């Protein structure tokens, strides 16, 4: 079952088998993969770039840090590629960070009702569906990024139960019309652009969004909320959400948060 809001499905062609089956690795200007996979790595990037030139499709993420081929890491859709806009309009999790996060969430994924908020091109939601989540609602407000999101989901997981919703996270109710069985959410990814992180402070728009997400008809009493912020961010609680755990990974902090009434000892 699939529902798309505010946009139509774009048509896509199949990608070369070499791209689907290649051994991809993230890299920067100053580092290369070890010698045994170097040729495979170079060919994968050339195939991806060639597909981009021929079909105006970007199969890798490019930013000031270098390039990163985006793919589903594990599960049913393993190795499937995600298309991304050019430039820095999205900030996807790297393979290494996603692997670490999902390893910690393994017991919560099977049958989960997921909300991927500020979903970008769908990295976390698609990884969740691939690993056994029952459904996912993707929330993305940027119209260009949303077009990549809906194409990725339709191409990679057409048989999954999902909703792609082009919505302003600062104003949405998080209750999808016609999607009552997608809620209450049991796992929420909340990944605001770093420039919006100050809006998590009390009385500001993203704090209000998190308060709406905590409503009992929107999220399960034992829901886990996964929040990403830049390093050196300090959080103890945000409205009804308290910190159960924090993971310092790369140049970011991943916060695992629970709703009040489900306090457990924070992992050390």
What pLDDT digit, counting tens, does each position of 23-49 carry? 333 333 333 344 444 444 454 455 455
Q: What is the CATH number of the domain that holds 232?
A: 3.40.50.150
- Flag whether 169 is in a domain: yes
- Flag whether 115 is in a domain: yes
- Flag whether 176 is in a domain: yes
- Flag whether 67 is in a domain: no
Q: What is the pLDDT of residue 94?
A: 85
Q: Which of 28-32, 94-98, 231-235, 245-249 is least confident?
A: 28-32
- Flag whether 100 is in a domain: yes
CA dihedral over 218, 222, 226, 231, signed as positive or negative: positive
Q: What is the pLDDT of residue 92?
A: 79
Report the predicted TM-score, pTM, of the whole model to 2 decimal places: 0.76
Mean pLDDT calculated for residue range 94-105: 94
Pairwise CA distance, residues 218 & 113, whole Å: 11
Q: Is 193 exposed, middle or buried (0-12, 13-18, 19+ CB in 10 A)?
A: middle
Pairwise CA distance, residues 72 & 242, whole Å: 30
Residues 249 and 104 sit within 8 Å (Cβ to Cβ): no
Pairwise CA distance, residues 108 & 51, whole Å: 36
For the chain, the first-to-last Cα distance in angstroms comes to 41
Q: Identify the domain containing residue 175 by its residue range.
A: 95-259
């Amino acid at each position: 079952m699939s529902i798309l809001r505010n946009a139509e499905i774009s048509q896509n062609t199949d990608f070369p088998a070499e791209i689907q089956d290649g051994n991809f690795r993230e890299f920067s200007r100053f580092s290369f993969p070890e010698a045994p996979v170097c040729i495979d790595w170079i060919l994968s990037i050339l195939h991806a770039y060639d597909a981009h030139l021929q079909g105006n499709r970007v199969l890798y993420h490019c930013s000031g840090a270098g390039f990163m081929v985006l793919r589903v890491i594990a599960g049913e859709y393993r190795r499937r590629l995600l298309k991304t806009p050019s430039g820095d309009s999205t900030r996807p999790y790297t393979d290494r960070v996603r692997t670490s996060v999902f390893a910690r969430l393994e017991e919560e994924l099977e049958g989960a009702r997921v909300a991927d908020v500020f979903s970008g091109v769908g990295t976390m939601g698609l990884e969740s569906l691939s690993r056994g989540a029952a459904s996912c609602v993707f929330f993305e407000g940027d119209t260009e990024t949303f077009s990549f999101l809906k194409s990725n989901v339709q191409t990679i997981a057409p048989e999954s139960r999902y909703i792609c919703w082009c919505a302003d996270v600062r104003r949405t109710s998080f209750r999808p019309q016609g999607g009552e069985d997608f809620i209450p959410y049991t796992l929420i990814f909340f990944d605001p652009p770093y420039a919006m992180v100050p809006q998590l402070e009390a009385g500001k728009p993203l704090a209000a969004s998190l308060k709406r997400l905590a409503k009992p008809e929107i999220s399960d009493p034992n829901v886990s909320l996964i929040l990403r912020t830049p390093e050196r961010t300090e959080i103890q609680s945000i409205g009804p959400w308290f910190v159960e755990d924090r993971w310092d990974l790369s140049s970011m902090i991943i916060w695992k948060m629970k709703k009040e009434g489900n306090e457990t000892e924070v992992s050390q």
